Structure 1
Amino acid sequence: MRLLLISNSTMAGEPYLDYCKNDIADFLGNDRVEALFIPYAGVSMTYDEYEAKVKTRFNEVGHDVVSIHHFNDPIKAVQDAKAIIVGGGSTWHLLHEVRRHGLIEQIRTKVEDGTPYIGWSAGSNLTCPTIKTTNDMPIIDPKGFEALNLIPFQINPHYLDKTAQGHGGESRQQRIEEFLIVNQDITVAGLREGCMFIYENGKLTHKGERTCRIFKYGEEFYELSSGDDFNFLMK
């Protein structure tokens, strides 16, 4: 199984997917890959528009994408995919559409059989056991929170340490601690922006200049840096 799980698509002041495009290229390899793009997290743009944004950046690094919405048979499109790319946006809408098209088991099987999977933000959330640690509003009922379950831990992408000045609501840390009270047997990784997880050859690594915050029920949270051992998350 090969996974590239990116926290966010865009760093402030930079073009879309620019900071991580070379990581995507390295992950897919030197030979050109036409990957299957799943745009279902996109709500405020058309799937054609979303595909065009992603295609531009993939073309820059020698690869290409074709969106699943062009196929009459989405299941066959997944089965035939050389790589699967899942973009960010609404995790709720993404899971709703993946489930509606009958793709949960199809994607899981395909990726477990070795097809490379790249996701960012909502696309990273989708690989978790559930989408319970996503940040976005539940704009649609996904008919269940269970996701692909490709990894045995939860990711909280775009992880922030503090709330905005003057904001009286709960911090991201407090929300994750609430999650752990009712989900005591699962670990949460706070994946900060500009960072990513890479899983290949049976090894999980973290890449990025910022640290990753690890949350477990009944324990004080702690920070790990790129170069530290993250393999415990896959056990």
Structure 2
Amino acid sequence: MNLLLLSNSTQHGRDYLGHALDTVTGFLPAGARLAFVPYALADHDAYTAKVRGALAGAGIDVRGVHEGGDPSARLGEADAVFVGGGNSFRLLSTLYRTGLREALIKAVGDGLPYMGASAGTNMAAPSLRTTNDMPIVEPPSFEALGLIPFQINPHYLDPDPASTHKGETREERLTEFLEENDVPVLGLREGSWLRVEGDRAVTGGERDARLFRRGSAPREIASGSDVSELLRITAAFDARA
């Protein structure tokens, strides 16, 4: 697998993809034909135009998979695929409906580089179960692409000890997930990402990550850390869900 999984595509005070542009353009070299999957947002044309504008200066040719013909055929014409952020439930539902879910699994398994941001990063995990999103639609299954064997929580937020809000923190929600499922969760804070090349996985970006495992306290993972051990785990999900 050749993956770049961003926690977020927009960083406060930066242009779209600006905080990770050097990493993105290293992953997508000049002249690359990039198939963009815009299904996490409602306006596919506007979303594709936004990505096209952000990467035009790097000489990357962005083509939306919705722009005429079979979306799956766009993968065969591309040098890489980018699955954008938005609502993860809407994204996964559309991947199922268009047949693009199966096409992505095959294409990436055959070597097509995959870049995801936010919801697109959620898709790389086995399941949708650690997304932060509201289920605005109901996909046929929570089963995502399974490009990696562990879960990711993009946009991970640390508990704020000064907050008066009494709802569950992100850490509490991930702890609840681990009570029902025995699979690690890598919390990616804003500005961080995960790079996977073959059997090697390394965290990156401006901020550290946080790793959650059943039966142990959450652990800080410094940016630049090798987390390849996570690629060798066997996930155990609650079959009732």
State the TM-score, normalized to the length of structure 1. Answer: 0.95
Which of 216, 220, 234 lines up with 2:217 in the alignment? 220
Instruction: Give 1:229 shift.
Output: 2.3
1:208 matched residue in structure 2:
205
**Whole-angstrom distance in 2 between the partners of 1:114 and 1:52:** 26
SS in 2 for 1:179: helix
In structure 1, give the amino acid aligned to 2:197: E
Identity of aligned residues (%): 45
2:95 matched residue in structure 1:
98
In structure 1, give the amino acid aligned to 2:15: P
**Whole-angstrom distance in 2 between the partners of 1:130 and 1:54:** 26
Residues 199 and 231 of structure 2 are in contact (CA less than 8 Å); yes or no, is this contact kept in structure 1? no
Instruction: Give 1:103 shift.
Output: 1.5
In structure 1, give the amino acid aligned to 2:34: A
Instruction: Give 1:71 shift.
Output: 2.4
Gap change, CA 1:126 and 1:74, over 3 Å in 2 = same
Judge which range, 73-82 or 218-227, deviates more.
Answer: 73-82
Corresponding pairs, count: 231
2:16 matched residue in structure 1:
16
Query: Residues 51-90 of structure 1: matches in 2 within 5 Å?
Result: 51-90=48-87
Query: Residues 146-225 of structure 1: matches in 2 within 5 Å?
Result: 146-163=143-160, 165-184=163-182, 186-225=183-222
**Whole-angstrom distance in 1 between the partners of 2:93 and 2:102:** 14
Instruction: Give 1:33 shift.
Output: 0.8
Instruction: Give 1:148 shift.
Output: 0.3
Instruction: Give 1:76 shift.
Output: 1.7
Instruction: Give 1:81 shift.
Output: 2.5
Residues 215 and 222 of structure 1 are in contact (CA less than 8 Å); yes or no, is this contact kept in structure 2? yes
- Structure 1, unmatched stretches of 5+, are none
Instruction: Give 1:228 shift.
Output: 2.5
**Whole-angstrom distance in 1 between the partners of 2:10 and 2:47:** 14
In structure 1, give the amino acid aligned to 2:174: I
Instruction: Give 1:203 shift.
Output: 1.1
Instruction: Give 1:208 shift.
Output: 1.8
Instruction: Give 1:39 shift.
Output: 0.1
Judge which range, 224-233 or 172-181, deviates more.
Answer: 224-233
In structure 2, give the amino acid aligned to 1:211: D
Over aligned residues, Cα RMSD in angstroms? 1.2
Which of 117, 120, 135 lines up with 2:117 in the alignment? 120
**Whole-angstrom distance in 1 between the partners of 2:178 and 2:157:** 17
**Whole-angstrom distance in 1 between the partners of 2:11 and 2:108:** 28
Cα deviation per residue 1:143-171 (whole Å; 9 max; x = unaligned)? 11000000001000000011582211000
In structure 2, give the amino acid aligned to 1:123: G
In structure 1, give the amino acid aligned to 2:131: T
**Whole-angstrom distance in 1 between the partners of 2:149 and 2:175:** 18
- Structure 2, unmatched stretches of 5+, are 233-241
Gap change, CA 1:209 and 1:19, over 3 Å in 2 = closer
Judge which range, 155-164 or 32-41, deviates more.
Answer: 155-164
State the TM-score, normalized to the length of structure 2. Answer: 0.92
Which of 137, 141, 148 lines up with 1:140 in the alignment? 137
Residues 33 and 62 of structure 2 are in contact (CA less than 8 Å); yes or no, is this contact kept in structure 1? yes
Instruction: Give 1:52 shift.
Output: 0.8
